[in-house]
């Protein structure tokens, strides 16, 4: 894209100037990150992203950027997909060298759920920048500036784009809500600009920004700040496209959308809808609607592979204005609720979520503060507790760890401070902090981590591995163990990875360039008393057998899972 060329040749300030000179509405595609984080519990595998990367780059050269890394993808790649997130980034970079790559960075929480030592934040930013990230959208889950400054500085030092984001919550048009007002946001935006932001992000993570409020907000910000504005929203209520159009009229520079078939609801608004709506208008995006539709057909099929991870939300829900749950949390919290046996009591979880926000004094809810609210909501429903119970009976229980950390000030300070009574009940005598948590944390000892891993696994580890370990020690070690036992499972096709092979089914697996295996499942032996079975298969035509533990209690989505998506531009390839 043109934007990538300008950044690489002239740097972030020049890119910001270029953005502000553009008449067309600039568009970011979130399909590779937030769309599936918000619709499919972040489960989309590298293979399915890679297959369509080149076609996306060729078909949609006008895009400003792809949001394709960060947020929950880092954790989920290792934890559930058994993939290395750094390998994903490297391979995407290879597949789309001329596209501006954007990641979501949670300030002092990096791509995790807790504050990390300063040296982890700076090392992570450096490695991500060197691995191909161009634009870092940095936010703090409580809109607390000290939680973002270190990351902003680190990004600037790497010569990349610091897109510092304010998180939008509440409703600036509601006269009864006086915490998150227009003045509050304008003030925050000015502070972010002063802190060194190249672009101002508006992170409307729950989709609470309504069309007429967007008009007011964007107009005011365009008057008050001198950097481009990049607007991110979620379409949970169904108001997303209307909101983006109002924002476009008010002069927003860049907006986030997703390819149609993975857009809408808890995801971003539909790219095709925005492109079509602005056609022949002043802010015509110049994006080829036909190309959007062709890419949409690809994602329509791929989405079926991930059916068990769908949220179940079938239609827009204005409930979001009540619970204010971020799109990226919605599907994940539902999965969490299922996991602890509250699947059928989702309604209660939602009400508790709202109640917790009120108890907390109305906070910004986005990772990780949203997780704190979600964890306490689940805790209350599990125990049958009302908000009063939390205060009156809270002394006798241990609250979820995330709740304790929040009230200790370990994820930052909320505007207006903590509610004192609840803080006392949760902390049980522990002292809260009011400084930046990073000031108290010992620097992470990378050398010791390397020694530990090398001793434990008897092999060398890269700097990237060490960062994965610094953020998620247990998840990373489990991922390494899994790779030792099963090899690199990212080479398997997605239906096989999630659902296994059916009897007689044959698949080809590209294990490395130029090396392909053909695997056919021939038969499966009886379940033996020790819980194992012998599995008979053919490997490149040669009969083989292997003894496996039976873990067959898997969700099967048989009918549609084998449909073959056409990749635009390479129709017929599989």
Residue 328 interacting with ligand PYR (CB under 6 A):
yes
Minimum CB separation from ligand PYR for residue 89, in Å?
Answer: 16
**Which of 195, 198, 269, 203 has the alpha carbon at shortest distance from 70?**
203
The answer to whether residue 272 forms part of the interface with ligand PYR (CB under 6 A) is no
Nearer to ligand PYR, 71 or 568 (CB): 71
| String of DSSP letters for 33-71 | IIIHHHHSTT---HHHHHHHHHHHHHH-TT-SEEEEEET
Nearest CB to ligand PYR, comparing residues 73 and 198:
73
Residue 283 or 334: which CB sits closer to ligand PYR?
334
d(CA 452, CA 477): 11
- Smallest separation, CB 415 to ligand PYR (Å): 18
Tell me how far, at minimum, the Cβ of 452 lies from ligand PYR, in Å.
Answer: 28
Nearest distance in Å: CB 105, ligand PYR = 9
Q: Which residues contact 218 (CB under 8 A, 6 or more apart)?
A: 229, 231, 246, 247, 250, 251, 252
Among 270, 331, 367, 468, binds ligand PYR (CB under 6 A): 367
Q: Are strands 101-105 and 135-138 parallel, antiparallel or unpaired?
A: parallel
Judged by CB under 6 A, the residue of 84, 265, 366, 467 near ligand PYR is 366
Position of minimal CB gap to ligand PYR: 71
For ligand PYR, the closer CB: 38 or 198: 38
- Minimum Å gap between C-beta 124 and ligand PYR is 14
Q: Does 412 bind ligand PYR (CB under 6 A)?
A: no
What are the angstrom distances between the C-alpha of 447 and each of 453, 467, 470, 477? 10, 12, 11, 17
**62 near 104, Cβ under 8 Å?**
no
User: Does 364 sit near ligand PYR (CB under 6 A)?
Assistant: no
The nearer residue to ligand PYR, 215 or 375, going by C-beta atoms, is 375
Q: Residues 150-179 vs ligand PYR: string with x where CB under 6 A?
A: ------------------------------
**Number of residues counted as binding ligand PYR (CB under 6 A):** 11
Neighbouring C-alpha atoms within 13 Å toward the C-beta of 275: 21
- What order of strands is seen across the sheet that includes strand 515-524? 506-512, 515-524, 532-539, 542-549
Nearer to ligand PYR, 38 or 496 (CB): 38
**Tokens matching residue 336:** 């969490």
Residue 67 or 249: which CB sits closer to ligand PYR?
67
- Residue 106 in contact with ligand PYR, rule: CB under 6 A: yes
Cα–Cα distance for residue pair 476/323, rounded to 1 Å: 33
Min separation Cβ 141 and ligand PYR, Å:
8
Q: Which of residues 31-90 bind ligand PYR (CB under 6 A)?
A: 34, 37, 71-72
**Residue among 69 and 379 whose Cβ is closer to ligand PYR:** 69
Residue 205 is a binding residue for ligand PYR (CB under 6 A)? yes
Given a contact cutoff of 8 angstroms between Cβ atoms, the answer to whether 92 and 32 are in contact is: yes
**Residue 372 near ligand PYR by CB under 6 A:** no
Name which position in 112, 207, 326, 414 contacts ligand PYR (CB under 6 A).
326
Closest to 125 (Cα-Cα) out of 162, 91, 95: 162
Residue 543 pairs with which residues in a beta bridge?
Answer: 538
* End-to-end C-alpha distance for the chain, whole angstroms: 27
Under 8 Å between Cβ of 103 and 70: yes
Residues of this chain that bind ligand PYR (CB under 6 A) = 34, 37, 71-72, 104, 106, 205, 326, 328, 366-367
């Amino acid at each position: 894209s043109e934007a990538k060329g300008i950044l690489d040749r002239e740097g972030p300030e020049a890119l910001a100037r270029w953005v502000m000179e553009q008449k067309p509405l600039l568009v970011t595609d979130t399909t590779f990150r937030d769309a599936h984080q918000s619709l499919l519990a972040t489960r989309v595998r590298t293979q399915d992203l890679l297959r369509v990367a080149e076609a996306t780059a060729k078909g949609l050269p006008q895009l400003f950027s792809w949001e394709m890394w960060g947020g929950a993808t880092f954790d989920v790649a290792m934890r559930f997909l058994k993939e290395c997130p750094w390998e994903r980034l490297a391979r995407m970079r290879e597949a789309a060298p001329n596209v501006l790559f954007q990641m979501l960075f949670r300030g002092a929480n990096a791509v995790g759920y807790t504050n990390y030592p300063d040296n982890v934040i700076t090392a992570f930013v450096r490695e991500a920048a060197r691995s191909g990230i161009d634009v870092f959208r940095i936010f703090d889950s409580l809109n607390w500036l000290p939680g973002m400054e270190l990351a902003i500085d680190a990004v600037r030092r790497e010569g990349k784009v610091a897109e510092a984001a304010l998180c939008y919550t509440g409703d600036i048009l509601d006269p009864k809500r006086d915490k998150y007002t227009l003045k509050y946001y304008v003030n925050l935006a000015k502070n972010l600009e002063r802190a060194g932001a190249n672009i101002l992000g508006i992170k409307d993570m729950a989709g609470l920004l309504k069309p007429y409020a967007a008009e007011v907000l964007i107009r005011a910000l365009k008057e008050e700040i001198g950097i481009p504005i990049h607007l991110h929203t979620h379409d949970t209520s169904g108001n997303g496209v209307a909101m983006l159009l109002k924002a476009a009229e008010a002069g927003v520079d860049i907006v986030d959308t997703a390819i149609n078939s993975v857009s809408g609801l808890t995801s971003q608004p539909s790219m095709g809808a925005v492109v079509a709506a602005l056609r022949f208008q002043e802010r015509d995006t110049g994006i080829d609607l036909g190309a959007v539709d062709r890419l949409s057909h690809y994602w329509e099929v791929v989405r079926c592979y991930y059916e068990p991870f769908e949220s179940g939300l079938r239609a827009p829900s204005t409930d979001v204005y009540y619970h204010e749950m971020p799109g990226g949390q919605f599907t994940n919290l539902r999965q969490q609720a299922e996991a602890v046996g509250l699947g059928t009591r989702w309604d209660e979880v939602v009400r508790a979520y709202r109640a917790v926000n009120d108890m907390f004094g109305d906070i910004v809810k986005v990772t990780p503060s949203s997780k704190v609210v979600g964890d306490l909501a689940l805790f209350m429903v599990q125990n049958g507790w009302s908000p009063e119970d939390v205060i009156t009976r809270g002394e006798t229980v241990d609250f979820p760890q995330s709740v304790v950390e929040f009230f200790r000030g370990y994820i930052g300070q909320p505007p207006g401070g903590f509610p004192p009574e609840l803080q006392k009940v949760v902390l049980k005598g522990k002292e809260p902090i009011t400084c930046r948590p990073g000031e108290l944390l010992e620097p992470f000892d990378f050398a010791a981590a390397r020694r530990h891993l090398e001793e434990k696994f008897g092999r060398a580890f890269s700097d990237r591995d060490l960062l994965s370990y610094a953020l998620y020690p247990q998840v990373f070690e489990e991922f390494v163990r899994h790779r030792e036992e099963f090899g690199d499972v990212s080479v398997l096709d997605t239906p096989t990875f999630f659902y296994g092979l059916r009897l007689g089914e044959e698949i080809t697996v590209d294990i490395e360039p130029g090396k392909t295996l053909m695997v056919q499942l021939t038969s499966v032996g009886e379940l033996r008393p020790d819980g194992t079975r012998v599995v008979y298969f053919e490997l490149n035509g040669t009969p083989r057998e292997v003894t496996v533990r039976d873990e067959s209690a898997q969700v099967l989505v048989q009918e549609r899972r084998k449909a073959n998506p056409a990749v635009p531009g390479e129709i017929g390839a599989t």
